[in-house]
Amino acid sequence: MNRFLFPALLVAMSTAPAVPPTEKKPVTDEYHGVKVVDDYRWLEDANSPAVKAWSVAQNQYSRTWLDARPDRDAIEKQLTAFYAKDTPSHGGLVARPGILFALKFQPPKQQRLLVSLTSPDNLASERVVLDPNELEPKGQVAMDWFVPSPDGKLIAVCLSEHGSEDGTLHFFRTDTGERLPDRIPRVQYPTGGGSAAWLPDSSGVFYTRYPHKGEKPEADLNFFQQIYFHKLGTPVTSDPYSTGRDFPRIAEIELETSDDGNWLLASVANGDGGEFAHYLRETKDGAPWRQIARHEDGIKAIVFSHDGSSLYLRSVKDAPRGRILRTATTGNLSDSVIIVPESEAVIEGITLTTSSLFVTDLLGGPSRIRQFTLDGKDPRILSLPEASGVGGMLASDNHIVFRLTSFVAPAAWMTCDPATGTIRKTALYNTSPVDFSDIEAVREFAVSKDGTRVPVSILRRKGTKLDGSNPALLYAYGGYGHSMRPAFDFENRLWFDRGGIYAVANIRGGGEFGEEWHLAGNLTRKQNVFDDFAACAQHLVTKGYTQPAKLAVEGGSNGGLLMGAFLTQNPTLARAVVAHVGLYDMLRVELDPNGAFNVTEFGSVKDPDQFRALHAYSPLHNVKDGTAYPAVFFLAGETDGRVNPAHSRRMTARLQAATASNHPVIVRLSASSGHGMGTGLSEKIAQQADVFAFLFDQLDMSAR
């Protein structure tokens, strides 16, 4: 390089921060005769002074790099301005007779509010039941979930701090906001979640409970979830055990009562792999529990009929796209009859009114709604906009209410009259702070390594030229049967304004095409997920949307694992990678508290075949020294109970030591967030500003 021709570049290089060194302390493990060396095991110990010092140094290095991007502060100001103009949004609707409860997101408030309304059409009736921002103004107290009493006069709310999801159950009066003295600790943790269900007279709750100290060894305190009962006004220490001692160590329990209050259902997941057992009892005192479905029965969900006399079951047994069975509440699974058979659509949800059965379907990504009589007759397909996503459906005053989303329009809560099938928008809808009228969404198919056609939805400005010059960002998840539905994100306006294309891939491991699509991407078949994603990236290049030098990829959690596998297997296919709260050491993930819950999805190193599959794609173990890796930005939360942030620490150190490119490898370790749930608004904006600053810099996307 001629120093007389490039003085500015030389100055920039000389003043760039140096990557903090990371000491190697090799540890060798042996699995089924295979020796595996780990240089960065010591970074697992979050309480070690050396690890804390390493984290501080890495955060400072990343902060210096990010703050040196010339438009980073402007990006944060622009995002903040967007949120300031955003209309309040409502989510998590729950109906009780004559009243609706909802979580309301109202920028600039840091956390969502719990509100009540008499109707989704009457905003004037809205009243705040609980504002966590008043409990802790910096936004460090969040609601994990809530359950109103049958009469709507009381509400049970699980609260946790710092994004930890380590929750305590509190009780409030809905008319005055008064907090009752009852407190139930250890009802919620990220490993198995948590739940509660009321007695019909609102005098007490059944609730999930994790072991208290002294009841189990320290390593088991976030496992062995069981069900207990609490009567309001009595000491929590005297709460009686109800059931659960025979449940799996990795049980995840969801509780629900019938509308008439006479029946209690416990749906028990066997970790995160999609297997469920179901148990039923009457809510009257002393009633016994009985198991009505086992893991191998393939019952994914059960819904009570409106009068509590029947159970509607969503089954994938011999029907991977799902079918609906019905049996009497007092009956058995063997007595059930098929009322909605399997079809080309994937059955996602069941909602019942007094006269109709509504079925939410998934068609490879977009949604549809079918209406039937209660015995599955007289089917009718409701009219929805093309490429819509449907979520949160519930019955309210014999109507159904559901949230409708798309890629190019903000979400709205809709209502449907079962008598006519007419759908209309309620008063609960969003307006976008930015205009998306110039954006279109197209749906194409990539061809994976084994010939599987994989859908990819592509958002672009109308008239975009497919000459390979466009920066593009590809997003996916690919796990747990979780489906990527169309969704609107006004933050992407910044991306489009710099000429960007945004794409979402519906890869295997998800549920877009049913249980077969999910199972084709779990356990020893996980490599299909990474092949699908790479095929979608290559599709964007081959079709002229972009080129590898202008392509970025992004994912979080299981999608963070996807990013790690993608960059180690395809280091030249993209220029930049953003990985949120990801898993990168697949040989030790099951040793983390929540990692054990993932064994039913990923597999275990204890099984020789599963070990070989895990070792073959484990990102940390497939980093190769001297490889020119793309730019990588890892983000993790220090209070994350779902994915140990040590994964991000160790993967950062390994890549920094191995890469032969000059592209940055940085990490952002946040002390005020966990896995993402409960993160305050200001921290969310700051994180997104850092992500955009990183991507705009690496893809050379200047403001227009």
Positions annotated as catalytic residues are: 557, 675
Tell me whether residue 553 is exposed, middle or buried, using C-beta atoms within 10 angstroms of its C-beta: 0 to 12, 13 to 18, 19 or more. Answer: buried
Residue holding tokens 């939805």?
A: 457
Report which of 349, 328, 352, 326 is spatially closest to residue 339, judged by C-alpha positions. 326
Give, for 179, the enclosing helix (H) or strand (E). strand 179-188
> CA–CA separation, 232 vs 149, rounded Å?
12
Residue holding tokens 């991407």?
A: 521
DSSP per-residue string spanning 91-157? EEEEEETTEEEEEEE-TTSSSPEEEEES-TT-GGG-EEEE-HHHH-TTS-EEEEEEEE-TTSSEEEE
CA–CA distances in Å: residue 253 to residues 276, 293, 315, 600: 10, 14, 18, 16
The pair of three-digit structure tokens given for residue 632, joined into one six-digit string: 């990588």
> CA–CA separation, 280 vs 388, rounded Å?
35
CA–CA distances in Å: residue 518 to residues 70, 250, 323, 392, 693: 43, 20, 17, 22, 34
Residue holding tokens 């993932």?
A: 598
The pair of three-digit structure tokens given for residue 370, joined into one six-digit string: 């079918």
HSE-up (13 A, CA, CB side) for residue 248: 21
- φ/ψ of 308, rounded to 5, equals 80, 5
Contact 486, 428 (CB under 8 A): no
Handedness of CA 476, 482, 487, 491 (dihedral sign): negative
Residue holding tokens 């198991």?
A: 291
CA–CA distances in Å: residue 439 to residues 409, 446, 459: 10, 22, 7
